[in-house]
Structure 1
Amino acid sequence: MESKTTTYLANLLQSCMDKKSHLSGKLLHAFILRNGLASDTFLSNRLIELYSRCGKIEYACRVFNKIAQKGVYSWNAILGAHCRVGNVHDAYALFGEMPERNTVSWNTLISALVRSGSEQKALDAYDMSIFEGIVPTRFTLASVFSACSALLDSERGRRCHGLAIKVGLDNNIYVGNALLCMYAKCELIADAIQVFGDIQDQNEVTFTVMIGGLVQKGQVMGALAMFRLMCRKGIHIDSVSLSSILGACAGRISREVCDDDLDDILSSNVHGQQVHGLTIKRGFERDLHLNNSLLDMYAKNGDMDGAEKIFADLPEVSVVSWNIMIAGYGQKCQSVKAVDCLERMQSCGFEPDEVTYINMLAGCIKSGDIEMGRRMFDSISCPRVSSWNAILSGYSQSGNHKEAIELFRQMQFRSVKSDRTTLAIILSSCAAMGLLEFGEEVHSASQRACFHTDLYVASGLIGMYSKCGKTETAKHIFYNLPELDVVCWNSIIAGFSLNSLDMEAFNFFKQMRQNRIVPTEFSYATVLSCCAKLSSSFLGRQVHAQIAKDGCISDVFVGSALIDIYCKCGGVDEGRQFFDMMPNKNTVTWNEMIHGYAQSGCGYEAVCLYKDMISSGNKPDSITFVAVLTACSHSGLVDVGLEIFNSMQLEHGVEAELDHYTCIIDSLGRASRFHEAEVFIDRIPYKDDPVLWEVLLSSCRIHGNVSLARRAADELFRLEPQNAAPYVLLANIYSTLGRWDDVKAVRELMSDKQVIKEPGYSRIDYNNEMQPCVIDEIQAWNLFGELKLPTTQSPFDLTPLYKASSPSHHLSPTQRPSLARWKSEFLQLTVKSLFSSLVFLALLFLFASISEAAISWSIEDFNATPYVKLPSGKAPKPSAGSFNGSLRM
């Protein structure tokens, strides 16, 4: 009879548990006490479960404490009670007091630790259970995989995976889904797909986790294909599945009309509007979470009209709904609508949260309204670090670096702890302003916060030190990082390139490839720029081949860099061929090709390409006009250049800047239209800029206009008294006209003011390595007698060109030629035969005379390579074959 009563009461208690009826449970508890059944351990355990499920942990503890003989079931019951209400600390202490622990005890503790966010403690507890000989169950492994997923600890997860296979639980749907989630969260998609295939009884959770993992990895088409497979297999589609696939549809919205038939949906790509139709068909119109996912999908696709329609029809809204709408308006740069949405949100009784203000800040910053963004930030009573980062990023991105640094100081004054994002933003501002000392302070702060080895912060440090000219410090930080990602490699390559250490930058790129780091489009664009500055077509072609192999050839910025290097190495036709093959072109691409024509003296082609750009609908910018005006200047198309210059603001809304005015002055000067140039320079707002006067002085030198040259030189002496260029240019003008007293006066003035002319230098490509070369000028003319020609007759007489190219200040007045019209350039030549060697030698002498630098060469026979003395005093051994040389003056 007593057994039947106990069973009956236990069933009643179970009914109370199912209904979570605390009051009914207390009545049953009173009945148990009145009838002397309080000593029944089974009923006491059921009472503990009842009170714990109803959240009455204090009652559960009273019942537990009155149990005379506590068995492992009683201990597990009170342990579960503490875990269920979130008293993990008490549960952990209680677990240590247990006289006996079984699998249920360990599973209860491990799962509670995972739910409370103490994943590392959960894994430690799991290791202890294995040490005590506990065989893990499906519940154990599922909790452990969840902990590994949260910690992104794929190594531990793989070990547990091996154990799951060993105990035969790898095919269990519960374990399999947790394992799949772990691999997906760790972005190990190949492993996740293998686990997905091994799960025999796949359910909606399996597919939803797999779709989420593919979306997180950016494999949108794979996620869409997985959803189609889910539909094809007849797997139940719930709101969570639809929410996951809507995440994949963000950015891929289709304008097609949704079909009602599911088979029609499966036969085409699953796009956002089609999934929207499916949510309506499945009756999820009132699901708030799914409706927010729909809002997010339309907003991220920029379809705010569609988002507004859904928002207006929502049966209920939440703060999340309002935040999505505000973020959508911000993304569309509609800051006024975003502010209006915020006001409506508050008028409807919703209190903005941190995400609301961050979205508002992001919208204001994207719209360029940094002042409104600051007002929004100031309206937050206690901004968190994420809000600080948002406004700091806004200041930094808009070029207000001084304000960013001042705000960062306020952040420190308020004792707000910086995170990795904060430090990276401030380092970027320090780099932009060249604030080395403050950057070093931020570096010290990152070390105190243990962020200095964080890759995100380390990249900022490398960039800051590089932009401040401290490349050795940047290199030291780089080599002391425990691990390197592609961002760090890109930072060090860009930093060395910025400091004109292009060969070192290229060597870093080679190391990056050797370390099996896959270069990004930025990597390739940077290293191509290095090759262009080195004028090394050999290295450029190697990089081009690797770009084609890696599939980055269609990127517009990489394509622009390729055009740049081919044009700078004399391959303007190759550059144009590649330009024509590019599937996508932007303004940068057009600018690069026009600039390439300008560099190569192809003014007519540059103007034609500029007109093609206009007709194709691409809007020219300031750089476009600099390129085309330069081309007109170098090719003598003066009137065409003036016409384009006048159309800048009238037809294209581009304000003229210093570079545009410089091009026009250069164009007029080259054409000997000095009166127009002088009138033009007196009218423009940049009259006191030394660049304009130096360009004008160079033109006066070409045409021997002494009076205007003297005025330009006087202006330069006033504006830049320590610049050697005007002294040298003016002296060369006087020497050309035979005015040796004036030459002497200019050189004495130069000496009195202690102005030093930096010597020119050449750079040679020896054994595929670029090396600088600086040699004493006087030695060159003594070396000419060392030139040994074959016994056969020379293809042409070098003597006139040699005499013409001799430095004017080393020759007598009767020998001084009037060849001062050559302008300093950067040459790339390849010497393959005697004839080309002689031409190369003659040109080098000619250009060296203009730059006051000299190069010595020795040609032994028909197949010989020019002989160059390096700064170290060593010289490369002559060898047959081709030789690349480049000369900077």
Structure 2
Amino acid sequence: METKAAHLANLLQTCIDHKAHLAGKLIHSQILRNGFFADIFLSNRLVELYSKCGSLGSARKAFDKMPKRNIYSWNAIVGAYCKVGSLEDAYDLFVEMPERTVVSWNTVIGALAKNGHEGRAVDLYKTMIWEGFKPTHFTFASVLSAYGSLGDVRRGRICHGLVVKVGLDSNLYVGNAIVGMYVKNGSVRDAVRGFGELSEPNEVSFTTIIDVLEQTDQVRDALNMFSKMHRNGIRIDAVAFSSIVGVCARGNFGELGSSDECQRVSSYGFGLQAHGLATKLGVETDLHFCNSLLDMYVKHGKMDLAEIVFANLPEVSVVSWNILIAGYGQEGQGEKALELLQWMYLQGFEPDEVTFVGMLGASIKCGDIETARRMFDKISAPSVSSWNAMLSGYSQKGNDGVAIVLFRKMQFQCVRPDQNTIPVILNSCAGMRLLKCGKQVHAASIRESLHRDVFVASGLVDMYSKCGDLHKAKLIFDRIPERDIVCWNSMISGLTFHSHNWDAIALFKQMLEKGMGPTQFTYASIVSSCATLGALSLGRQIHAHMVKSGYTNEVYVGTALIDLYSKCGNADEAQQFFDGMNVKNVVSWNEMIHGSAQNGRGDKAVEFFEEMIRSGVKPDGITFTVVLTACSHSGLVDEGMRIFKSMEQQHMVQPMAEHYTCIIDTLGRAGRFDEAEMLIDNMPYQDEPILWEVLLSACRVHANVNLGRRAAEQLFRLDPHNPSPYVLLSNIYAALERWDDASAVRKLMSGRGVVKHPAYSWTEYKDGVQAFMVDEDLTWIESSSH
């Protein structure tokens, strides 16, 4: 009988090893038929068999019908419930156990730790210690994993200390758990130290430490660790290869490698070597590795190699498509990305949200805001990064109103903004000068505790500055604990923009005293302040500072210097600097043309305009405004008319009100009123006061009373409280000795409560600028200085 029972036990073990459920049931029937069910060993094997085959119900029936049970019976049924995740039933059985072994405790603690019940696992571990059971390497591995998931590094360290105390720190299984616990808690230094204490690290050890080094941007160390893994003969599987090419995908970090390596390679070069090694070891067929490899080539912009990897994938997934689509988006090839999306549909793949996010980024980078919006609208629940991308796209395109509406929609959908959202939307508020809206965004930043972020604070300073609330901007600026250059630039440019030029210069000096290095935007703002003030001496000092800092080759800085020297009457010096500029854009040319016009060099301004056309730089509306102004001030009437007519015919620039103003001023100064009147009668800007003001001024010079009266009447209608037309019309009558008409205009002006304000002039002296103001009757003069 014993021989037969032993034979049945051997057969059961074979069934357990091969998970032969049907054969096991036949043996079960033989056990019952031969009356062996009372044999505890055979009954335990039956519970184990059904557990291995996933038949929990049969395992429980076998357990319940056992006439006698021992500790192995209980461990087997508890293990069966743990295996299928029925943790409550497993725990209830564990509590019912008449006696427990370390195996019993380890089984339940391990199951709880693996299935998201880390807190209960730790509590059970403490009870185990209290009841006098000695933990094993399985216990510590589970508990350390639980502490890692709970983020409890303090208790994790205590457990680590106990591991050392009981002498299990040399166990590889426990050692890997220690490293993993520190990794999950972000204690990189402790994780690396724990790895270094492993006597014989395996592929799990190396893969774990490579991942944590990659996550903390320690790329050089990660690559060296992989090299060490290979040199030590550790088996490198697909997971390890995926990790290392993920490291190589981080970007081109230049020369990498340790000092003892003969060959030093870039991260991309290392990735190529890893690809070759993976092919040699037969890992290149693993889909996860292939997708990681595809991502590496994409991140380095090697789209030709990425296409080859994609074409040879053993199995294409949606992830593979997403990586390739995002890659072409990263390269700014939006059309190629859209073509791939269409091909993806044709191949029977359904795009997911990652696909649309990739297409969104591609479209934004290409400036295709319409396609980007279509992709955005297909995302069921956009993440904050998707909202940010869309908001940034609209802001960059100048569609600030749409950006603000979209931001409100984002709030209605309860998507919380982050430190990247707020600066973008503040920029849109600043662009539209919407102070009220900007204040609401400020309130939202305070609600989300983002207002202390340096980028958000800079955005607030910029918004309040551009919207004219300089007091609020300065308050925020002063409260920023660690200002970066963006903060300083925002405050300085705001002061410059609102003509608080001396305050801007004072802040610039304070910035230098703080040891903050100016950028091209700082210099451009401060030189603009000097130009507005006519402070040539101070401007020269700033110029010298720029030369020392190496910023004179920046196009915006150069343009500001041209403006400075031109406004201060140094046209030759402005041209000398302009001629030495390495890069000239349309703004530079415009400033040089404008500077020539300011200094009475109309012919030179026209020459610069013609040279600009020959250089291939396309003129814009501002170009025509400044060159037509130059023609007007220099009496170049025919040149002005020729350039005005060329706007639409040759350069496809639609004339605006300011262009008509310039050409009417040109004709008026020359006394060609018939042409001027004909132009006014046919232009689409009849209600622009500046046009009539220019015409009226010319009529005063040439005593054209009839056309002057028409211009004045138009101005009385359009801007009844502007004193200029009253004064100019009165002066026309006075020049013709029509005193009654002149008096009537003065009475009309007085009756309407129109007041003429005094003008002022200024001149620079050694310590600043002196301003002179004079009233209408020249009865007194007041001077002030800064």
Tell me, yes or no, whether TM beats 0.5: yes
What is the match of residue 695 of structure 1?
694
Matches within 5 A, 1:91-240: 91-94=121-124, 97=127, 99=129, 116=149, 121-125=151-155, 146=183, 220=252, 223-226=253-256, 232-233=262-263
Tell me the secondary structure at the aligned position of residue 99 of structure 1.
Answer: helix
Distance 2:674 2:712 in 1: 17
Greater RCO (CA < 8 Å, at least 6 residues apart):
1
Distance 2:382 2:145 in 1: 34
Give 1:362 shift: 4.4
Whether the 8 Å contact between 1:91 and 1:109 is mirrored in structure 2 is yes
Distance 1:312 1:656, change over 3 A: farther
Tell me the secondary structure at the aligned position of residue 254 of structure 2.
Answer: helix
Does residue 441 in structure 1 map to residue 456 in structure 2? no
Tell me the secondary structure at the aligned position of residue 224 of structure 1.
Answer: coil
Whether the 8 Å contact between 1:490 and 1:523 is mirrored in structure 2 is yes
Matches within 5 A, 1:669-688: 669-688=668-687
What is the match of residue 464 of structure 1?
463
What is the match of residue 786 of structure 1?
none
Distance 1:333 1:774, change over 3 A: same
Distance 1:348 1:607, change over 3 A: same
Give 1:719 shift: 1.2
Map Cα deviations across residues 747-775 of structure 1 (whole Å, 9 max, x no partner).
3332222223343345566775x567465
Give 1:471 shift: 1.6
Distance 1:516 1:145 in 2: 40
Give 1:502 shift: 2.5
What is the match of residue 635 of structure 2?
636
Does residue 500 in structure 1 map to residue 499 in structure 2? yes
What is the match of residue 430 of structure 1?
429
Tell me the secondary structure at the aligned position of residue 434 of structure 1.
Answer: coil
What is the match of residue 752 of structure 1?
751
Give 1:134 shift: 7.7
What is the match of residue 860 of structure 1?
none
Give 1:524 shift: 3.2
Distance 1:27 1:334, change over 3 A: closer
Tell me the secondary structure at the aligned position of residue 722 of structure 1.
Answer: coil
Map Cα deviations across residues 94-142 of structure 1 (whole Å, 9 max, x no partner).
455452799977886565565x5x6xx3445457669999899986985
What is the match of residue 37 of structure 2?
none
Map Cα deviations across residues 71-92 of structure 1 (whole Å, 9 max, x no partner).
6x98677555544455434445
Does residue 88 in structure 1 map to residue 121 in structure 2? no
TM-score norm. by structure 2 comes to: 0.72
Whether the 8 Å contact between 1:148 and 1:182 is mirrored in structure 2 is no
Does residue 711 in structure 1 map to residue 741 in structure 2? no
Whether the 8 Å contact between 2:144 and 2:159 is mirrored in structure 1 is no
Moved more, 718-727 or 89-98: 89-98
Distance 1:573 1:283, change over 3 A: farther
Structure 2 letter corresponding to 1:594: I
Distance 1:391 1:479 in 2: 32
Give 1:683 shift: 1.7
What is the match of residue 650 of structure 1?
649
Does residue 604 in structure 1 map to residue 634 in structure 2? no
Give 1:634 shift: 2.7
What is the match of residue 792 of structure 1?
none
Moved more, 275-284 or 639-648: 275-284
Distance 1:98 1:678, change over 3 A: farther
What is the match of residue 342 of structure 1?
341
Distance 1:695 1:515 in 2: 49
Give 1:307 shift: 6.8
Distance 1:183 1:324 in 2: 23
Distance 1:171 1:677 in 2: 95
Distance 2:157 2:770 in 1: 62
Whether the 8 Å contact between 1:122 and 1:147 is mirrored in structure 2 is no
Rg larger in 1 or in 2?
Answer: 2
Distance 1:61 1:483, change over 3 A: farther
Distance 1:176 1:724, change over 3 A: farther
Whether the 8 Å contact between 1:60 and 1:81 is mirrored in structure 2 is no
Does residue 523 in structure 1 map to residue 536 in structure 2? no
What is the match of residue 666 of structure 1?
665
Distance 1:767 1:142, change over 3 A: farther
Tell me the secondary structure at the aligned position of residue 493 of structure 1.
Answer: helix
Structure 1 letter corresponding to 2:254: L
Whether the 8 Å contact between 1:521 and 1:557 is mirrored in structure 2 is yes
What is the match of residue 591 of structure 1?
590
Distance 2:327 2:498 in 1: 41
Map Cα deviations across residues 265-307 of structure 1 (whole Å, 9 max, x no partner).
xxxxxxxxxx999999999876766766786688789998887
Whether the 8 Å contact between 2:112 and 2:121 is mirrored in structure 1 is yes
Whether the 8 Å contact between 1:701 and 1:730 is mirrored in structure 2 is yes
Distance 1:178 1:758 in 2: 77
Distance 1:511 1:94, change over 3 A: farther
Distance 2:135 2:764 in 1: 75
Distance 2:508 2:452 in 1: 21
Give the share of equivalent positions with the same residue, in percent.
45
Distance 1:465 1:334 in 2: 37
CA root-mean-square deviation: 5.5
What is the match of residue 5 of structure 2?
none
Map Cα deviations across residues 530-557 of structure 1 (whole Å, 9 max, x no partner).
3333333344344434444444443323
Tell me the secondary structure at the aligned position of residue 256 of structure 2.
Answer: helix
What is the match of residue 39 of structure 2?
none
Distance 1:810 1:553, change over 3 A: closer
Distance 2:242 2:543 in 1: 41
Tell me the secondary structure at the aligned position of residue 667 of structure 2.
Answer: helix
Distance 2:589 2:292 in 1: 40
Give 1:688 shift: 1.7
TM-score norm. by structure 1 comes to: 0.65
Distance 1:710 1:134, change over 3 A: farther
Structure 1 letter corresponding to 2:255: A
Structure 2 letter corresponding to 1:463: D
Distance 1:202 1:284, change over 3 A: closer
Distance 1:748 1:628, change over 3 A: same
Matches within 5 A, 1:11-30: 26=52
What is the match of residue 803 of structure 1?
none
Whether the 8 Å contact between 2:223 and 2:257 is mirrored in structure 1 is no
What is the match of residue 887 of structure 1?
none
Give 1:309 shift: 7.0
Distance 1:208 1:364, change over 3 A: closer
Distance 2:501 2:487 in 1: 17
Structure 2 letter corresponding to 1:224: G
Distance 1:760 1:234, change over 3 A: closer
Map Cα deviations across residues 47-77 of structure 1 (whole Å, 9 max, x no partner).
97x9989989789869977594656x98677
Structure 2 letter corresponding to 1:660: H
Give 1:717 shift: 1.7
Distance 1:648 1:331 in 2: 38
Give 1:470 shift: 1.5
Map Cα deviations across residues 182-227 of structure 1 (whole Å, 9 max, x no partner).
898677x9xx98x8999998668999999999997x8x5xx23227
Distance 1:26 1:591, change over 3 A: same
Distance 1:59 1:810, change over 3 A: closer
Distance 1:358 1:869, change over 3 A: same
Matches within 5 A, 1:849-860: none
Give 1:716 shift: 1.6
Distance 1:200 1:348, change over 3 A: closer
Does residue 323 in structure 1 map to residue 353 in structure 2? no
Moved more, 93-102 or 412-421: 93-102
Structure 2 letter corresponding to 1:727: Y
Distance 1:210 1:552 in 2: 41
Moved more, 642-651 or 105-114: 105-114
Whether the 8 Å contact between 1:52 and 1:84 is mirrored in structure 2 is no
Distance 2:561 2:98 in 1: 82
